[in-house]
Amino acid sequence: MKCKEGPPVLIIRVGDAFCKACFKDYFVHKFRATLGKNRCIFPGEKVLLAFSGGPASSAMVRQVQEGLSRDAAKKLRFKPGIVFVDEGAVCGQDLGKRREVHSQVEMILRATGFPFHLVHLEEVFDLPGSILRSISHNATDDSQSYKEAVDGFIRRQQQQQSERTGDSLPGQLSELSVRCPPGKEAVEVPGPLSVSHTAELTHLFRAVKTLTAKEELLQTLRNHLILHVARTNGYTKVMMGDSCTRVAVKLLANLCLGRGAFLAGDTGFSDSRHGDVLVLRPMREYSAKEIAFYNRLFGVPAVFTPSLDTKVRGAALHRSSPPVPAAQIQRPCSPPPPAPGRPPHYPLISFLYKLQSEFPATISTVYRTGEKLGTTPRDAGGDAEPERCLLCLCHLDTSVVDGSSLQSTLLSEELCRKPPPSAGSGCCGGAPNETGCCRSSPTAGAVPSQAVLFPLLCYSCRLTVKDMTCLEPLPPYVHSEAERRQRRAAMKQEIQEFLLEDDLPAS
């Protein structure tokens, strides 16, 4: 027992009993300590909380509320906003159900008093190509004007704040509304759903053959959309609610998906792949169990939002949050069994829980293994910074190293495919010929074949794209950015001999 007063209500680890009040202190303190330890959020900075309706991100929102309501000395000093992405269209929800979830989420978010953004996944069809570019802080390119505007805005805000503290000037009103909701301009509820976009989205996911690839694609699109909300609203940090349990699952899943080079970025506390907007994971030191307890003891509401798997048949590598069924909460010491109602064929989840029940340190060991990983590529070929993957924005891990697995796979594919050019993807059978028919019409609307897209993708995103029957339904921003990169690569090819430095800021 921490204190000698309150009755013990739960045991997190053996010999670590908490009463309700102590548990709350412990939980709230951990959040602040995680942020304090990493020192990356500046006072007054706008931080976007990614809220999925699940237990971990719900608890995260509550932690920020707690942090902001505390006495001045301990108070968090950033300006939060919340984003919720409605994925109903790809989870088989009809409009009625989506509206229901919507109003439920809206009610929860309104109650937080923070500004919030409710967006539909359909909005990915209106994203700009620039979402696929990593924008460095000192970019000088003209195309980044909006980024500069955002920077300038923040700079001005900060100046104003330091110059006249306390004054409520017109310029500060919008900022103030962040703190004193419900300020009208701070709440973004989407307009009427574009029916055609819903159809496009369904079409896109129907073109993906496997559930694993569907989950990967969904996550990619969701991240792009969240990043877009952050950029257009001047948020410079995004907080994701990945718990320790989820981090462990993600580490293993991504390891199996060929993302070994990216594990640190995919699961670490901070992820800088987008350049201007930093992704943070402040919940990664909480176990799913702790979170379930907290939410139950302190009445944190959660929304049930179905994931892909409840609709689609077949196995997947598992992506959505590990289920913590209600029954688990009464028996804190046993590992959570697979939730009822879900297909039991998540190989990784069931594997981890089985191991965890035999070797109770499994999840924490996996988590700690992840802590030891870095982002430095082991075989940095040359001085130039490698290109970034078109979809996940990680540095490409596809240089063909002698004796590597990738080299062998490419050789196997080459040896197994010889004479009859299989009429598969694209008009020229996916021939990697630069001057072939696929390249002859690089205007918008030209459908890229896999062979054209592949050089722009990391190993793992190639696997996702390989599982698509056709690439045409991908949102326009993916196509336009792919074409832009191809044009730049062609340009570079042309002027190669005159370049002294290999690495021009291409994006």
Partner 1 sequence: MPAPVLCQSCGAGRAALRRPKTGRALCRACFVAAFEAEVHGTIVSARLFQPGETVAVGASGGKDSTVLAHLLRLLNERHGYGLRLLLLSIDEGIAGYRDDSLEAVRRNRGRLGLPLHVLSYQELYGWSMDRIARHVGPKNNCTFCGVFRRQALDRGAALLGADKIATGHNADDVAETVLMNFLRGDVGRLRRCAGILTGGEGTLPRCKPLKHAYEKEIVLYAYFQGLDYFSTECVYAPNAYRGHTRTLLKDLEAVRPSAVADLVHSGERLAVREDVRMPTQGICQRCGYLSSQPLCKACVLLEGLNRGLPRLGIGKPSRLQKALTGAEKPEAGFQEDSEQSSNAVRTIDF
Binding site for partner 1 (CB under 8 A): 210-212, 251-252, 254-261, 263-264, 315-317, 345, 347-348, 351, 354-355, 358-359, 362, 365-366, 368-369, 372-378, 397, 401-409, 411-413, 415-420, 422, 459-460, 463
373 interface partner picked from Zn ion, partner 1, none, CB below 5 to 8 A per type: partner 1
**Total of residues contacting Zn ion (CB under 5 A):** 10
Q: Is the peptide bond before 190 cis (omega within 30 degrees of 0)?
A: no
Judged by beta carbon, residue 131 or residue 392, the one nearer Zn ion is 392
Residues 6+ positions from 56 with CB-CB distance below 8 Å: 241, 242, 243, 246, 283, 286, 288, 291, 321
Is 242 strand, coil or helix? coil
Strands 116-120 and 17-19: unpaired
Told to check if 392 binds Zn ion by CB under 5 A, we report yes
Query: Looking at the DSSP assignment, which residues form a beta bridge with residue 187?
Result: 116
Half-sphere exposure of 90 (CA within 13 A, CB side): 28
Q: In angstroms, rounded to a whole number, what is the distance separating the alpha carbons of residues 139 and 173? A: 30
Nearest by Cα to 308 from 376, 213, 449: 213
Judged by beta carbon, residue 246 or residue 479, the one nearer partner 1 is 246
Among 10, 19, 229, 348, indicate the residue that binds Zn ion (CB under 5 A). 19
CB 412, min distance to partner 1, A: 5
Q: In angstroms, rounded to a whole number, what is the distance separating the alpha carbons of residues 466 and 426? A: 13
Judged by beta carbon, residue 185 or residue 379, the one nearer Zn ion is 379
Nearest by Cα to 335 from 317, 361, 313: 361
Judged by beta carbon, residue 220 or residue 328, the one nearer Zn ion is 220
Among 238, 247, 389, 453, indicate the residue that binds Zn ion (CB under 5 A). 389
334 interface partner picked from Zn ion, partner 1, none, CB below 5 to 8 A per type: none
CB 280, min distance to Zn ion, A: 21
By CB under 5 A, which span of 133-141, 362-370, 382-390, 499-507 interacts with Zn ion?
A: 382-390
Told to check if 11 binds Zn ion by CB under 5 A, we report no
Is 223 strand, coil or helix? helix
Told to check if 213 binds Zn ion by CB under 5 A, we report no
CB 372, min distance to partner 1, A: 5
Measured at the CA of 469, the angle between CA 468 and CA 471, to 5 degrees, comes to 70
By CB under 5 A, which span of 4-12, 45-53, 179-187, 436-444 interacts with Zn ion?
A: 4-12
Among 461, 468, 478, 482, indicate the residue that binds Zn ion (CB under 5 A). 461
251 interface partner picked from partner 1, Zn ion, none, CB below 5 to 8 A per type: partner 1
Strands 278-280 and 270-271: antiparallel
Strands 46-50 and 237-239: parallel
Q: Tokens standing for 319?
A: 């992506």
Judged by beta carbon, residue 29 or residue 354, the one nearer Zn ion is 29
Determine the distance from the C-alpha atom of residue 272 to the mean position of all C-alpha atoms in its chain, rounded to a whole number: 12
CB 157, min distance to partner 1, A: 36
H or E element in which residue 221 lies = helix 211-232
Interaction site with Zn ion (CB under 5 A)? 2-3, 6, 19, 22, 389, 391-392, 458, 461
